[in-house]
């Protein structure tokens, strides 16, 4: 089969090449990949992270059609449209036992600790494969695994309520666009920190530029500030994010695109009873709920690349003109 693969770290080492066809064990599902997302995690996979196996196929987000199933597979059939839960879990550690597969002690990530979906085919154990409802487009199916799931898990962990004001930094990005939509589904007032007015169509009540974020949010909330602030960007906008959190508010973070070293004003932290929460993707229960909840969610696609254009797709993540998701059309 054709795949994007690399044998050592570096964008220059990611090649469109022939790769051995995946084997299908008795508990496995063979998926013909239709669409894959391009995520900052994929950039880190190719350039920095320790991966397995080598040569390695990246791609943490993807969806496709089932081509073959192993003899023990019970719930997935040939021809099914499917997406995947991308956290590898053993089901028996203490985290898995309390329903936190995303923190499995012995787990990993499909696309990093196992081959991913930037290939014509991938073979995955049935427990990670979920049927994709017919009304979901491939772009949506390829966004569930990380972009949508991370946003949903963040909002659940923050216990967002209909009376809350939620501020989303990086609102037009992979995860941000889902955080905006899902926070609105939770009933919250949503303030998107972005320059993209299309976020109004995704549920934002206000779209505010980065330079005016603090003053505008103070004005909108009559000085109360936000109940929940979501920062998926990291260091560059950390101070602004922290400043926007109101009394007993929560700052949720799950990304470090602009750096990971931040300073915290401890005085404000304890005097305002602020909670800082780090989250990572989401649990299986979240994933199942999301498949039902997100039937009318939208995906803003900026550019779509062919499988052979993987390097260009990854470079697009840092483009100042990026306006929505980058996708790879596989077959």
Residue 91 region by backbone torsions, left for phi larger than 0, else alpha for psi between -120 and 50, else beta? left
User: Any idea what the CATH number is for the domain that residue 136 is in?
Assistant: 3.90.180.10
272 lies in a domain?
yes
pLDDT tens, residue by residue, 149-180: 999 999 999 999 999 999 999 999 999 999 99
User: Any idea what the CATH number is for the domain that residue 171 is in?
Assistant: 3.40.50.720
Q: What's the whole-model pTM score?
A: 0.95
Residue 326: phi and psi, rounded to 5, are -110, 130
Taking the C-alpha atoms of residue 96 and residue 226, their distance in angstroms, rounded to an integer, is: 32
77 and 159 in a single domain? The answer is no
198 and 80 in a single domain? The answer is no
153 and 132 in a single domain? The answer is no
268 and 322 in a single domain? The answer is no
292 lies in a domain?
no
Query: What was the pLDDT predicted at 148?
Result: 97
SS3 of residue 118 by DSSP: coil
169 and 90 in a single domain? The answer is no
20 and 131 in a single domain? The answer is yes
48 lies in a domain?
yes
Query: What was the pLDDT predicted at 259?
Result: 62
Taking the C-alpha atoms of residue 175 and residue 149, their distance in angstroms, rounded to an integer, is: 8
For the chain, list residues with pLDDT below 70: 256-260
Cβ contacts of residue 44 below 8 Å, gap of 6+? none
14 and 121 in a single domain? The answer is yes
Are the C-beta atoms of 135 and 120 separated by less than 8 Å?
no
112 lies in a domain?
yes
Query: What was the pLDDT predicted at 177?
Result: 97
Burial class (CB in 10 A: 0-12, 13-18, 19+), 101: buried
287 lies in a domain?
no
The number of domains in the chain is 2
Residue 17 region by backbone torsions, left for phi larger than 0, else alpha for psi between -120 and 50, else beta? beta
Nearest to 213 by CA among 226, 200, 197, 203: 226
Domain range for 202: 149-278
211 lies in a domain?
yes
Cβ contacts of residue 47 below 8 Å, gap of 6+? 9, 10, 11
154 and 269 in a single domain? The answer is yes
16 lies in a domain?
yes
103 and 213 in a single domain? The answer is no
76 lies in a domain?
yes
Query: What was the pLDDT predicted at 175?
Result: 95
Query: What was the pLDDT predicted at 260?
Result: 67
pLDDT tens, residue by residue, 264-313: 878 788 889 999 999 989 999 999 999 999 999 999 999 999 999 999 99
Q: What are residue 229's DSSP bridge partners? A: 167, 251
Question: 284 vs 133, 263, 289, CA distance in Å?
Answer: 17, 33, 9
Query: What was the pLDDT predicted at 263?
Result: 83
Query: What was the pLDDT predicted at 235?
Result: 73
Cα of first residue to Cα of last residue in the chain, in angstroms, is 12
Token couple for 99: 């329903």
229 and 200 in a single domain? The answer is yes
Query: What was the pLDDT predicted at 255?
Result: 75
Are the C-beta atoms of 19 and 3 separated by less than 8 Å?
yes
57 and 167 in a single domain? The answer is no
10 and 67 in a single domain? The answer is yes
């Amino acid at each position: 089969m054709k795949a994007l693969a690399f044998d050592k770290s570096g964008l220059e080492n990611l090649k469109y090449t022939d790769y051995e066809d995946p084997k299908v064990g008795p508990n496995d599902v063979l998926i013909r990949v239709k669409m894959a997302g391009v995520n900052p995690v994929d950039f880190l996979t190719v350039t920095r992270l320790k991966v397995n196996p080598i040569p390695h196929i990246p791609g943490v987000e993807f969806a496709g059609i089932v081509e073959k199933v192993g003899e023990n597979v019970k719930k997935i059939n040939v021809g099914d449209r499917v997406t995947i839960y991308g956290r590898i879990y053993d089901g028996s550690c203490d985290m898995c036992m309390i329903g936190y597969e995303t923190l499995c002690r012995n787990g990993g990530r499909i696309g990093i600790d196992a081959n991913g979906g930037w290939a014509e085919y991938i073979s995955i154990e049935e427990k990670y494969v979920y049927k994709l409802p017919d009304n979901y487009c491939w772009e949506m199916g390829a966004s569930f695994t990380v972009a949508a799931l991370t946003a949903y898990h963040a909002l659940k962990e923050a216990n967002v309520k209909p009376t809350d004001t939620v501020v989303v930094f990086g609102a037009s990005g992979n995860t941000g666009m889902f955080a905006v939509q899902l926070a609105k589904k939770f009933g919250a007032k949503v303030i998107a920190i972005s320059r993209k007015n299309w976020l109004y169509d995704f549920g934002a009540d206000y779209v505010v530029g980065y330079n005016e974020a603090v003053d505008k949010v103070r004005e909108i909330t009559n000085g109360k500030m936000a109940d929940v602030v979501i920062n998926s960007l990291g260091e560059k906008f950390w101070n602004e994010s922290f400043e926007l959190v109101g009394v007993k508010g929560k700052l949720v973070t799950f990304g470090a695109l602009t750096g990971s070293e931040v300073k915290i004003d401890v005085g404000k932290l304890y005097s305002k009873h602020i909670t800082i929460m780090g989250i990572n993707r989401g649990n299986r229960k979240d994933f199942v709920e999301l498949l039902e909840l997100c039937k009318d969610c939208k995906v803003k696609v900026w550019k779509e690349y062919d499988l052979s254009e993987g390097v260009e797709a990854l470079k697009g993540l840092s483009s100042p003109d990026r306006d929505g998701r980058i996708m790879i059309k596989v077959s």
